[in-house]
Amino acid sequence: MTDLDQDGQSPADPLLHAFTPGMHGNPPELAELTRDDEVVPQVVIPVADVKTREFVEEWRNASYNCYSSGHKFCREVCPVMTETRNESWTPTAFHANVVAMERGELTIDDVAADYVNCTQCGACELRCPNTLYTGDFYRFRTRTVDVVKAARALAVDSGIHQEGYRSWNARTAERSHEPVLGDVPVGQDTVRDWADGLGIPVGGESILFVDCEAAFYRTSVPRAVAQVLQKAGYEFGLMGEQWCCGGPAAEMGYVDQARVFAEHNMASWRATGTKRILVLDPHDYISFTEDYPKYFGADFDLEVVLVVELFAEMIRDGRLVPDVAVDRAITYHDPCRLNKRKGIWKEPREVLRAIPGLRFEDVDRVTQWSYCSGAGGGLAVEKPELTAAISARRLDHAGRLDVDTLVSACPWSERPLTEAGDDVDIDVLDIHELLATSLGIEVGGTRGETGDRRLAQARTGAMGRVRRTKSARGSGGVGSDAAGSGSGHG
Ligand code: SF4
Ligand code: SF4
């Protein structure tokens, strides 16, 4: 509210008094603020804490824009909050901490561990009234994901480490690839093994970038993608020397490490004359479309193509004609980084609707705050039990649609979702694999230990588990036995 003096005049320095911009009756000087890029006048914090000051200066406006709304819209779509009901692990708290740091009431040491509890899914950003009511007009979006990333980076820069993050990043730095599985050899000499027998050259104008989970663990995914591209006559090669994209390191706050990976990959693309990167993983897509342009500016002049969008286009153009019926009742899992972060939800559905034989039951949450798998943003590294609980909740939603299969477009989501799917007898398949199957392609490769029981049953003749009734299904919980993926993505 505008605070007027007793005589009805406005105070000498209106910035000293709280007011509501745009309210009728505001004195004219409130419309003539010179520091119109500052929501609230800056509080001077001790110079000795230079890192915190720089952090606060950069993110204070984003955080002051959060008015800790009474309804806390963001909390009800936050997968972590939905599962834990912990007030310290909410978008609201993540913004309020920045304000408290500016006022010297908190240090990053006090709250660094709280910032682990975020999958960086972006649901809260879309649900926030700031985004809902001004986004269409001003292109404004609340920036919780960036605040979380920055807070984690401040922690690392200040020497505060979460033990899981620290060891995960140390192992990734050592191998140049994420430590996706204990027993799978992860390294430069095996990163292209998934492509054995497919006759794909190294280098070229278009390069297929294969994320670590798919390259070493779920190799059926890149094999499906590569063979679909070949069937469509699309020329592409493998990277000269592919390292981790660096996205998960950046998500956990290890920014310097992320840049080392990015610079290596850029140098490799330059060496092979690459102009276009084909991406099958939503996390890589975020790295290449958001992080790399920040690292390299105008020097990052490569085209980034999301494969599922390319496949939808090829189906539209008649270059791909799925004609092998797939007898499944499916629903689709929108990867957070495609739907909520990048607004890509139509093309995967176009692909699925082109596959004959499928009964497709869509979820009730599509274009806005779709359900999260719980595996993103490094949550599974520090809190696998929480990732498992969120994945179980996701599968519970799928089960209510009475489907036998959940289809995802993200290899990183597929491991925790698959583990949760085992508990409710729902298979988790990858959209690229499903498309390849409907094109008559024998995909090959590995899909991990768990997953497609219906396919396994067809191969071995052994019966799958009896399907649970809806009333017998639980929603899962933090105490679930299911193990998390241990991956940095999700
Ligand atoms: S982030 Fe948006 S929805 Fe959440 S408390 Fe802040 S203003 Fe409200
Ligand atoms: S990005 Fe997702 S997990 Fe993180 S605070 Fe927002 S809704 Fe919660």
Edge-to-edge strands of the sheet including 405-408? Answer: 359-360, 329-333, 405-408, 427-430
pLDDT reading at 290 higher than 70? yes
Measured CA to CA in angstroms, residue 119 lies from 16, 42, 44, 109, 455 at distances of: 38, 30, 32, 20, 31
Distance between Cα 107 and ligand 1 center (Å): 22
Pick the range with the lowest mean pLDDT from 44-48, 244-248, 252-256, 385-389.
44-48
Specify the residue with its C-alpha closest to ligand 2, atom 2: 121
- Pocket lining for ligand 2, CB < 6 angstroms: 77-80, 91, 118-124, 144-145
Shared-domain flag, residues 323 and 424: yes
Specify the residue with its C-alpha closest to ligand 2, atom 8: 78
The confidence band for 114, taking pLDDT boundaries of 50, 70 and 90, is: very high
Q: In this structure, which ligand is nearest to the CA of 82?
A: 2
Write the DSSP assignment of 269-322 as a string of letters: HHHTT--EEEE-SHHHHHIIIIIHHHHHGGG---EEEEHHHHHHHHHHTTS---
Residue 43 lies in a domain: no
User: What pLDDT does 487 receive?
Assistant: 44
Shared-domain flag, residues 318 and 209: no
The pick from 92, 97, 119 for probing ligand 2's pocket by mutation, whose C-beta has the most ligand atoms within 8 angstroms, reads 119
Q: Please give the structure tokens belonging to residue 262.
A: 């990015």
Measured CA to CA in angstroms, residue 296 lies from 249, 267, 442 at distances of: 17, 12, 40
For the CA of 74, the closest atom of ligand 2 is 7
Give the domain-ending residue among 311, 333, 362.
311
pLDDT reading at 258 higher than 50? yes
Find the helix or strand (DSSP H, E) in which 407 lies: strand 405-408
Predicted TM-score (pTM) of the model is 0.82
For the CA of 336, the closest atom of ligand 2 is 2
pLDDT reading at 22 higher than 60? no
Show the domain range for 448: 313-472
User: What pLDDT does 340 receive?
Assistant: 86
pLDDT reading at 20 higher than 70? no
For the CA of 131, the closest atom of ligand 1 is 2
Q: Which alpha helices (DSSP H) does 176-281 contain, by range?
A: 212-216, 220-231, 247-252, 255-271
The answer to whether the beta carbons of residues 106 and 44 sit under 8 Å apart is no
- Burial class from Cβ neighbours inside 10 Å (0-12, 13-18, 19+) for residue 318 reads exposed
The Cα 19–Cα 35 span in angstroms is 15
Give the model confidence (pLDDT) of 292-322 as tens digits. 999 999 999 999 999 999 999 999 999 999 9
Q: Please give the structure tokens belonging to residue 97.
A: 């901490």
Give the model confidence (pLDDT) of 446-477 as tens digits. 776 544 455 545 544 444 434 433 333 333 33
Distance between Cα 96 and ligand 1 center (Å): 10
In the predicted model, what is the mean pLDDT of the chain?
82
Shared-domain flag, residues 404 and 426: yes
Q: Please give the structure tokens belonging to residue 37.
A: 């890029």
Residue 485 lies in a domain: no
**What is the 8-class DSSP label of residue 79?**
H
**What is the 8-class DSSP label of residue 401?**
T
Give the domain-ending residue among 278, 311, 344.
311
Residue 479 lies in a domain: no
The confidence band for 28, taking pLDDT boundaries of 50, 70 and 90, is: low
Residue for token pair 């994420």: 178
Residue 286 lies in a domain: yes
User: What pLDDT does 422 receive?
Assistant: 84
User: What pLDDT does 236 receive?
Assistant: 97
Contacts of residue 58, defined as CB under 8 A and 6 or more positions apart, other chains included, come to 150
Q: In this structure, which ligand is nearest to the CA of 145?
A: 2
Residue 409 lies in a domain: yes
Shared-domain flag, residues 225 and 294: yes
Shared-domain flag, residues 256 and 366: no
Domain at 432, CATH number: 3.40.50
Pick the range with the lowest mean pLDDT from 106-120, 209-223, 250-264, 432-446.
209-223
Nearest to 106 by CA among 94, 97, 96, 115: 97
User: What pLDDT does 480 receive?
Assistant: 29
Residue 128 lies in a domain: yes
Shared-domain flag, residues 216 and 266: yes
Give the domain-ending residue among 286, 311, 336.
311
Most confident listed range (274-288, 332-346, 446-460): 274-288
Amino acid making up residue 126? L
Shared-domain flag, residues 333 and 406: yes
pLDDT reading at 4 higher than 80? no
Specify the residue with its C-alpha closest to ligand 2, atom 3: 118
**What is the 8-class DSSP label of residue 291?**
I
Shared-domain flag, residues 192 and 141: no
Measured CA to CA in angstroms, residue 184 lies from 187, 190, 284, 446 at distances of: 10, 10, 21, 11
pLDDT reading at 25 higher than 70? no
Q: In this structure, which ligand is nearest to the CA of 118?
A: 2
Distance between Cα 131 and ligand 2 center (Å): 14
User: What pLDDT does 413 receive?
Assistant: 82
pLDDT reading at 411 higher than 60? yes
Residue 173 lies in a domain: no
Give the model confidence (pLDDT) of 145-183 as tens digits. 999 999 999 999 999 999 999 988 888 888 777 776 556
Shared-domain flag, residues 139 and 186: no
Give the whole-number percent of the chain exceeding pLDDT 70.
78
The Cα 400–Cα 127 span in angstroms is 24
Residue for token pair 């901490």: 97
pLDDT reading at 332 higher than 70? yes
The answer to whether the CB of 264 is under 6 A from ligand 1 is no
pLDDT reading at 198 higher than 90? yes
Q: Please give the structure tokens belonging to residue 198.
A: 């497919």
Residue 162 lies in a domain: no
The Cα 377–Cα 375 span in angstroms is 7
Shared-domain flag, residues 373 and 360: yes
Domain at 226, CATH number: 1.20.1050
Specify the residue with its C-alpha closest to ligand 1, atom 2: 128
Count up the domains in the chain and report the number: 4
- Who has greater pLDDT, 178 or 233? 233
The Cα 433–Cα 322 span in angstroms is 12
Q: In this structure, which ligand is nearest to the CA of 140?
A: 1
Shared-domain flag, residues 340 and 454: yes
Phi, psi torsion values for 387, nearest 5 degrees:
-55, -45
User: What pLDDT does 136 receive?
Assistant: 63
- Who has greater pLDDT, 39 or 65? 65
Shared-domain flag, residues 301 and 317: no
Half-sphere CA count of 417, side-chain side, radius 13 A: 33
